[in-house]
Structure 1
Amino acid sequence: MGPQAALPERLSRAVEARREETVRLLQEFVRVPSVTGYEGTFAAAVAEAFREAGLHTETFEATREEISPYLEHVGEQARYEGRPNVIGRRPGLGGGRSILLNAHIDTVEAGDPTAWAEDPFSGAIRGGRIYGRGSCDMKGGLVTHLAAIRALGDAGVELAGDVTVAATVGEEDGGLGALATILRGHRADAALITEPTRLALVPAQGGSLVFRLTVRGRAAHGAVRSRGVSALEKFIPIFEGLRVLEREREASLSHPLYENIDDKAPLSVGLVRSGNWASTVPESLVAEGRLGLIPGEEMRDIQDLVAGRVAEIAARDPWLREHPPELGWIGGQFAPAEVPVDSPIARAVARAHEGVTGGRPVVEAVSYGADMRHFVLLGGMPCVMYGAGDVGVAHAPDEHVNIEDLLTATKTVACLLADWCAAAG
């Protein structure tokens, strides 16, 4: 067996040798809150970890000026100050392909701590899992990158191609950090995002649009409610019509990687505000929701589709004809994106996974939006997602990642780097 044939085994041993250190690093990361918009303290810890891993490290904050042409992606309300992105570089010897490894450092809120079996910022270990907000989505993915790079050094592996690690802010509300990273010129021959995919290879991500719908009524005392017009009652047929639209889309959409996904393009209303007094007919209602897209769909087309359906429903009601609902698109808008299943980076990740596990990875799409779209659509980089963890426990109480899966992902990324960037040694 030649040295290259034995490389996956060498790298796997190097990852295992740092098992406790890798677990400890993720625990330390989980213990530093980094809710979207407030990533600064955690970014400092990430920069220190990058330097300890031997990466040439820089930090930068996005500016409104550079992002302003792309506000439809990140939203008008994005904050910029105190939210540094962290970039680490491992220069190669020259002549090899480059790669950009990405993980976002922001998380959603922990929510009610009493709903958790463990403190959401404890990094507790139970049953072979590390618990805490961000453990799965996606501080575990960031640790995967760092541990893989350390394994290369421990195994004495030099790379011909450059490796860039981008720890970016704001993914949860539009991808401000990934967008700024690309605009600053950080690009490569391919990109890998270690989102929690359950070790599946993901070459396609869904998109999502966030909308706000305002319905007007007329206030009146509840004792004479017929003199008023309830905005809530006027909203109900609109809501029902949107559910019909969701069912129509689910029945008509087709994509080979979405055949086994139950909710290909879900439409959900997550927030409704109406009325200000129990005995007053509500004069207004504001509803906000999310609509999914699949690769191949254009955001503008779907926005027009929804607007047309709302207008169609309103035209059937005399009050709404005179007082049409107002539909707007708010926050970050996520376009869908995909790369060919047989693209070089997809094949390389599959080879690396097979070299570590002995079997080919599951290949599937995800219905949620992610930063992959920025790297593919804006950066022009082929990009796939692959990582430990299950998105089904992300954003939820008792979020966790399985330690063995974390190490498997780390071994896979290490082998990917050795293959893609042309290992020597």
Structure 2
Amino acid sequence: MKAVRPANVIELCQALVRIPSVNPDGDPGCPVEQTGEAACAKYVAEFLTDSGAEAVLEEVESGRPNVIGRFPSNPSQDGKPKPRIVFAPHTDTVSVGGMTVPPFGGEVREGRLWGRGASDTKGPMAAMLWALHEMREEIPDLPVEVHFAGFMSEESAQLGSQHFAKTHGPYDFAIIGEPTSLKTVHKHKGCLWADIHTTGVAVHGSIPEQGVNAIVKMASLIQALDTDFRQKLKDIGGEDRWLGHSTISLGMIRGGTRSNIVADHCVLRVDMRTTPGLSRAGGALKILTEFVADHDATARVAALPETFPLDTNEQNPFVQRLVDCGAEVTGAPWFCDAAFLAAAGTPSVAIGPGSIVQAHTKDEFIATADLESGADFFVKFLKSWA
């Protein structure tokens, strides 16, 4: 029997929240059968099909597809190819461990819809999908070609957007679904995680003067990173109007094997949030590596996957159309799929209803009024082309 389709954007968001799609990386906080994006992607594909789009599932990893919908488009009056735009939220959520509300309940009370993903980012996705459904008759005659892409894996590694950018881009514009309080995030910081290793010489703990303590070497380096390097980031990357300056957080440290052995190895993991200015000046990894080498020639830096800043020109005509519809431009300290599409040549922004303050929380919710406003906004944006 075919599933009952939602009657409004709130019911659509409830349906999405009630489909577990927890990112399996790390500790998902739920049984394995509740991880992965397949069930959510299938539901979205069916909704897109009912809305007149041609929908396909593209596996990026086993059992973890992107969902792509292409709405029909009639030839333009001048015979020229239409610009292509894509609405692109993500279908995965973070862990549900420690939640104080039923993570897949989708309950509506107190003017809020509760559950994992309600804010990040099944609420924005519902607003986009509902607007596309409402506009299904008008979309073919718009002077733009309209697509939808639901990305897997945004909450870890961003594999879905990277796969899409390589196989389907570039587009003329991408609207990434994130809870931005319906503001147009045209800039956001990038992120570099890196491990810094110091080495020493292990000896018996009773004669430490005969060895070299890697922890002590790291302590000196930490002092430098926490003072001189922070200033260096400001000096090199500058102050961004929307994002401020690049930052470094010293997040994890481990070293040694036993208390009675002088430590011959120590590792510090750092989290750097980077501005476009720092990227233009050589990038976080280069600047960090050079600083560490200058301070301790025997230390080394091992980079983990890096995400890049977003720096879409606020004068881009697509951005200005969003602004004209009421979504003022802003920046964000977090990163999202927009950066990967932009790096592959698609001007991109992030926008959606709901607040980032509620994302990933133990009692995640989105206000139902915000959901309705989000759907209305995306309808307005689409109608602005008519």
Query: Which interval holds the TM-score relative to the shorter structure?
Result: 0.7 to 0.9
Whether 2:71 is the aligned partner of 1:90: answer yes
User: How many Å separate the matches in 1 of 2:7 and 2:207?
Assistant: 69
Whether 2:180 is the aligned partner of 1:180: answer no
Report Cα offsets for 1:175-212 as digits up to 9, x if no partner. Answer: 22112212222543221112121221211122111211
Give the match for residue 12 of structure 1: none
Structure 1 gap segments, 5+ residues each: 1-17, 63-79, 315-320, 354-360
Q: Retained in 2: the 8 A contact 1:190–1:345?
A: yes
Give the match's secondary structure for 1:99.
strand
TM-score (norm 2): 0.84
For 1:327, give the aligned amino acid. V
Give the match for residue 163 of structure 1: 146
User: How many Å separate the matches in 2 of 1:177 and 1:156?
Assistant: 25
User: How many Å separate the matches in 1 of 2:66 and 2:143?
Assistant: 26
Residue pairs, 1:26-425, within 5 angstroms: 26-31=13-18, 32-35=20-23, 38-62=36-60, 80-95=61-76, 96-111=82-97, 113=98, 116-153=99-136, 159-244=142-227, 245-250=229-234, 253-258=238-243, 261=244, 264-298=245-279, 300-314=282-296, 321=297, 324-331=298-305, 333-353=306-326, 361-378=327-344, 380-419=345-384, 422-423=385-386
Give the match for residue 3 of structure 1: none
Distance apart, 1:160 and its partner CA: 4.2
Q: Which segment drifts farther, 343-352 or 186-195? A: 186-195
For 1:303, give the aligned amino acid. L
Structure 2 gap segments, 5+ residues each: 26-35, 77-81
Report Cα offsets for 1:271-329 as digits up to 9, x if no partner. Answer: 32323444444332222222122124327443221111111221xxxxxx5xx122111
- Alignment size in residue pairs: 363
User: How many Å separate the matches in 1 of 2:209 and 2:160?
Assistant: 52
User: How many Å separate the matches in 1 of 2:271 and 2:139?
Assistant: 48
TM-score (norm 1): 0.77
User: How many Å separate the matches in 2 of 1:164 and 1:231?
Assistant: 54
Which has more helix, going by share of residues?
Answer: 1
User: How many Å separate the matches in 2 of 1:266 and 1:50?
Assistant: 41
Distance apart, 1:344 and its partner CA: 0.8
For 2:155, give the aligned amino acid. E
For 1:286, give the aligned amino acid. V
Distance apart, 1:227 and its partner CA: 4.6
Give the match's secondary structure for 1:88.
strand
User: How many Å separate the matches in 1 of 2:365 and 2:316?
Assistant: 31
User: How many Å separate the matches in 2 of 1:247 and 1:397?
Assistant: 35
User: How many Å separate the matches in 2 of 1:85 and 1:107?
Assistant: 14
Give the match's secondary structure for 1:104.
coil
- Superposed CA RMSD in Å reads 2.7
User: How many Å separate the matches in 2 of 1:121 and 1:279?
Assistant: 49
Q: Retained in 2: the 8 A contact 1:123–1:130?
A: yes
